[in-house]
Each structure stands twice: as C-alpha cells, then as structure tokens.
Structure 1
Amino acid sequence: MPAQPSTADPHAGHDMPTTAPSQSDPHAGHDMSTMSPSQADPHAGHDMSTMNMGPPDVPTSADDEGRPRQPPLPPAALSGPAHAADAIWGADQMSGARDVLRRENGDVRATAVIVDRLEVGFDDGEEGWAWDVAGWTGGDINRFWWKSEGEGDFDGEAEGEVQALYSRAISPFWDVQAGVRQDFRENGEDPTHLVLGLQGLAPYWWEVDAAAFLSTEGDLTARVEAEYDQRVTQRLILQPRVEVEASASDVPELGLGSGFTHVEAGVRLRYEIAKEFAPYVGVEWSRELGDTADFTRAAGGEPEHTRFVIGLKAWF
C-alpha cells in the first residue's frame, strides 16, 4: 500500500518558498570567502595532539609524583638572623617578647583544688565520714600534685594519708606521677612510702588513678581507682566508682594480708547546682579480702560493709 504523502515526507504540502533565507540558513547571504582561516576556525593551525586537557601541572600540597618540585630557597634567604624581627627591634628585646608569647600561649601556670568526695556514711546505725581531696599547680606538661584521703568517726578517731607528687604528661590523656606518701593513724604504725603512679582518662571516659607504694619497711602495695560520669540530664549525673587494693606480702602490723586486700564498689547520684558545686547521695559496698579479712575479724571488726552516703563534690 503506498504511503500517505504526510508519512513519507513531513513537509509534504508545506509551502517552503515562503520561508525567509535567514530562517532556512543562518549564514545565507554571508560571503565566507573573505574570512581568514583563523576567523573561520579559532583553533586552525594549532597542534591539538600535545595539549593536556587535565588540571594545570602545578605544585600542590598533595605533592604527587610527576609534578614539578618547588625550587630551593636562594642562599640570601637564610643569611639573616633566625628571627627576622631581630633585625628591626634587636635580638634582646625580641627574646623577651617571645618568652611572654610562649607563656601566654602554651606555658600557662594554673592551680586547682578538687574535692572529689566529702561525705557522711550510715552503716547499721553507725555513722562515719570520709574525704578524698586533691589539688595541683603547674602547666600542661609538668605539675605538682597533692592528694589526701581517709575516713573517721564522730568520736574523733581518723586515719588517712597525704601524698606529694611530681606529675608529667606522657600523652594527651595520661600522666606519670612520682613522690612520697605519709600515712597517719590514731593507733598503730604511720609508715612513709615512695609512690609511682599513672593517672589519666581511659577508653570510654573512665577516670583512672593507679599507683604502687613502697614503704620504708620494704612493704610493696598497690591501689587502682576508676570512676565514670554518666549524664542523666544536663545537671543530674550518675557516677559508678570502683577501688581495688593489693599487697605483695603479709603486713600484720597494718592488718594486711598478701594478695588482693580490699575492694569497694559504689554509685553516687549528684546534682550540679553549678559546675563547681554538686551535692550527691549514693550507696557503697566494701569488703576486706583474703588474709586481710582474717586480720580484721581478729581485731574485732567486720570485713564487709554496705553504707548509704550523703556528700559534696566541688572544685575551684
């Protein structure tokens, strides 16, 4: 069947002669013979085969192989003083200015006092109190630390310790500490110890304070404390805390047996009235272990306690 004219030719039946020359050919009527080759084609005569169509071949911070290197500094650039400002204001004056700059931007001295625990505890009708305070002064790398902790009752008896330590940062989150510790007791020995410890922030934001103690009598003991702040709200914070102590040998005069001697585990819920001031309530369980528990029983004490505490955490 022969195709319809409109199917064979879409312009069939259209009157084409009425179309203007400029509409059928935009260059109709232009004399192209008078144009130079460069006007007819802007790339005429160019060798396009050697052109790199990628990014310009210039040095970058990536310093990829194949890119040109920066030229070396001219000798004259290194012929002057180590600090260019010395040539204008003098080395003596600029040396003092640089010392001030270092102190204000990286060698700042600061001081802090930290009251980690100041609390009253209730255990089967018996009341007692405890403290755990510390402080430091120095910069980001080197500091002097002092620490004190202990416990007592309302009859006036108390026992505890004081430490004086040199602390040096060995990484962004850890300090090595060394110094001395002095114990004090109402009745009994008051030994002095050498201290070597590690303090810092462990993974998962656990604050860790671990130390080994060597007494003047040759007794070696150790203690590890760890605590973690879990925010319930912006002001309400739940703090689990664990403490473990150990001794390398029996020390009967101090009531210590060899091995693990003591463990504490507690949780405290505090409310930050301000960042620097937060009262808390909590519960804590403690137990003497191994031969230490036997020494405690022999002295008429109980090796295991559970107590409720009310206290204050602060710093300034």
Structure 2
Amino acid sequence: MKALLLIALPGLALAAPAFAQHAHHHGPGMAMPAPAASAPQPEQTDPHAGHNMTPAPEPEPAPAPADPHAHHRQAPAPAPAADATGTDLPAGSAPPPPVQRDRLADRFWGAEAMAPAQAHMLHEHGSMPQRQVILNLLERQFRDGRDGYRWDGQAWFGGDIDRFLLTTEGEATRGEGVEAGEVQALWSHALDPYWNLQAGVRQDVQRGPDRSYATVGVEGLAPYWFDLEARLFLSNKGDLLARLEGHYDQRITQRLVLQPRVEVELSAQDVPESGIGSGLSTIEAGLRLRYEIVREFAPYVGFNWERRFGDTARYARLAGEDVTSKGVVAGIRFWF
C-alpha cells in the first residue's frame, strides 16, 4: 500500500497546478457557466462624423518641362508660293516683296514733290562720276655721277564700273633730257570689286624712234593687299612687249609707310632701234619710305636698283651705257 502511494504522489503533484488554474477562472466547486445571451451593442459612432467629406478638387497638372532641344528643331518648310492662278511656283522663283517707301518727308510734302530730291541724292551718292589725280613718284635720283629724274602718275575720271584713265611715266638724265617716257590713254572696266580690265593706246616719248602701241591688261588688288599691273603692248611695227609691275604699302605707323616696288619688262623679239632685246629685258626694284604729313601729301626717301639682261644689256654696252644702275632717291607723293 505504501508503495502505491509513493507511486501516485508525483502524478498528483503534477495535476494540482492545472486544477488550481481552472478553479481560479470558474470559482471553487462551480461548473463553467453557460454563455449568457449577448446584450444589445450600443450604436457605433461614425469615426468621420464632423469632418468635411466633400471630395477635394483635383490638383492642376504640373507644367511640362521645357524641351531643351526646342530651339534646335527646324521650323516646318513654308508652303510653296503660288502665282495669281494658284499654280505652285518652284522654290526661289517667288516675286520679291514690294519695296517699302516710308520716307518721312513724303508724309508732309508728298511723294511726287520729293521725287526730284530723291533722284538728285541717288545721283550724288551712286552714279555721279568721280575723279582723281595721283603722282605716285616724283623724285630726284642720285646715280654715280649721272643724276636724273623719275615720274610715275595717273589721272582718272568716271564711276565704279567704267572710267577713263590717263597714265604717264618716264625718266630723264640731268643735262640730257628725257631718256624714255610714255603716255597711255585707257578705258578701265571693273571685272569684280578688286580687278579691272584695261584697254587703250600708248605713245612713247623718247630719244629713239617714236612708237605707238595698242594696249590691253589688268590691274587690281591681289590677296594680302598687293597692287599689281600686267599689260601687253603691240606696236605699229608689230613689236610685242609686256610689263609686270607690283608694289605693297607696309604701314609702320599711321603716318610712316614703307613701299617695296618691282617692275619687270619683257619682249617677244629684238627691237634694236629701241635698244630692246628679246626675252627678259629689264628688272627694276626699289624701296621707299614715306611720311604722310597728310594723306594727300607725303615726302619720301629710298633706294632704287635697275639691271638689263640679254640682248638689252648688249645694246646698252654698245651705246656706252651702264648695264646696272643704282642710287638713292628722294621725292614726294601727292594726290587730289
């Protein structure tokens, strides 16, 4: 019997806590009561009562971000122009828009009354002829005991497109008169803003035989501001000559200008009576420094060198003349 009790005691010890927990909820010695009928629940209050339930207005859409490439897009091509009949014209053939004539004086005096004044102004500032006389060289040359003189100038009259040109150049030895000189009368026509076509006649004035020539050539401004001339001369005896000339004004200051100058003469045949041989006959080079007291008047000093070649040199030796000449020059340049 004691043995059975010893075995049952651990089981009772384990069952006691569970029983006590159950008795704590339902009371000692009481069975679990049946669930009572549910009492009526109070009416639940609306949690949103007192709030404005009107739907909020929809927000305005945010502006679209600016297109960063909008200014790169090409505008749509304009519709092709049409003539009075409605027929499409090819691109570029539409008539120009009417000229706007909104002169203030016309409002007060009338267009007809102001027309003569307008025509006079256009004549003065557009097609009115201009004129100029310029002497590029007027100098004294000091050459190894044979001092001499040199001139080179021109006068022109006309407009921007067509003008009449009169040129002259030559040299003389002191005490001996004019060695070689010429006068040219030319018509000059503008080929473009920089080049002119020239044609006319030339008359020599020299100690040798008189010669008259038909002349044609070009004159203009090359790139980098080089003034160039190239002319052909056909004499009344059938002699064909050519001349190339160029100079460049290097402005050192606003008034001080250095001018290198080169002239080359050629001949297609020998002209013994004029002392000219075929081929390259003469090269002349000079360097002049001028000071422009005003634009229209400038004294200068410089150095000049001249050399004859080929048969031209041989003719010079036979005549007792120097093949090469050089010397200091001093002169003035002016225009009006």
Please report how far the alpha carbon of residue 205 of structure 1 lies from its aligned counterpart in structure 2 after TM superposition: 1.1
Contact 1:121 1:309 in 2 (8 A): yes
The match for 1:298 among 291, 310, 318 is 318
The match for 1:67 among 77, 86, 92 is 77
In structure 1, distance between residues paired with 2:101 and 2:301: 61
Name 1:138's counterpart in structure 2: 158
Q: 1:57 to 1:123 in 2, by over 3 A?
A: closer
In structure 2, distance between residues paired with 1:263 and 1:291: 14
In structure 2, distance between residues paired with 1:156 and 1:276: 32
Matched, 1:232 2:252: yes
In structure 2, distance between residues paired with 1:56 and 1:275: 50
Please report how far the alpha carbon of residue 117 of structure 1 lies from its aligned counterpart in structure 2 after TM superposition: 0.3
Unaligned runs of 5+ in 2: 1-50, 86-94, 103-109
In structure 2, distance between residues paired with 1:53 and 1:264: 66
Contact 2:157 2:163 in 1 (8 A): yes
Name 2:138's counterpart in structure 1: 118
Name 2:308's counterpart in structure 1: 288
Q: 1:32 to 1:286 in 2, by over 3 A?
A: farther
Matched, 1:168 2:194: no
Please report how far the alpha carbon of residue 89 of structure 1 lies from its aligned counterpart in structure 2 after TM superposition: 5.0
Contact 1:136 1:144 in 2 (8 A): yes
Name 1:195's counterpart in structure 2: 215
Letter in 1 for 2:127: D
Contact 1:225 1:243 in 2 (8 A): yes
Q: 1:82 to 1:244 in 2, by over 3 A?
A: same
Matched, 1:41 2:51: no
In structure 1, distance between residues paired with 2:69 and 2:323: 79
Q: 1:73 to 1:219 in 2, by over 3 A?
A: same
SS in 2 for 1:118: strand
Letter in 1 for 2:193: P
In structure 2, distance between residues paired with 1:115 and 1:261: 26
Figure out how many residues of one structure are paired with residues of the other and give that number: 267
TM (norm. structure 2) is 0.71
Contact 2:146 2:174 in 1 (8 A): no
SS in 2 for 1:144: strand
The match for 2:199 among 178, 203, 213 is 178
- In the TM superposition, what whole-angstrom CA distance separates every residue of 1:95-129 from its partner, at most 9, and x where no partner exists? x6664354234323211111100000011122100
Aligned 1:81-92 pairs, distance under 5 A: none
SS in 2 for 1:171: coil
Matched, 1:208 2:228: yes
In structure 2, distance between residues paired with 1:35 and 1:74: 60
Please report how far the alpha carbon of residue 73 of structure 1 lies from its aligned counterpart in structure 2 after TM superposition: 7.4
Root-mean-square deviation (Å): 3.3
Contact 1:118 1:311 in 2 (8 A): yes
Letter in 2 for 1:310: A
Please report how far the alpha carbon of residue 31 of structure 1 lies from its aligned counterpart in structure 2 after TM superposition: 6.3
Contact 1:127 1:154 in 2 (8 A): yes
Q: Which of the pair has more CA radius of gyration?
A: 2
- In the TM superposition, what whole-angstrom CA distance separates every residue of 1:119-149 from its partner, at most 9, and x where no partner exists? 0001112210010011111111111111000
Letter in 2 for 1:166: W
- In the TM superposition, what whole-angstrom CA distance separates every residue of 1:60-115 from its partner, at most 9, and x where no partner exists? xxxx574343765778xx9xx99989xx856x995x66643542343232111111
Name 1:260's counterpart in structure 2: 280
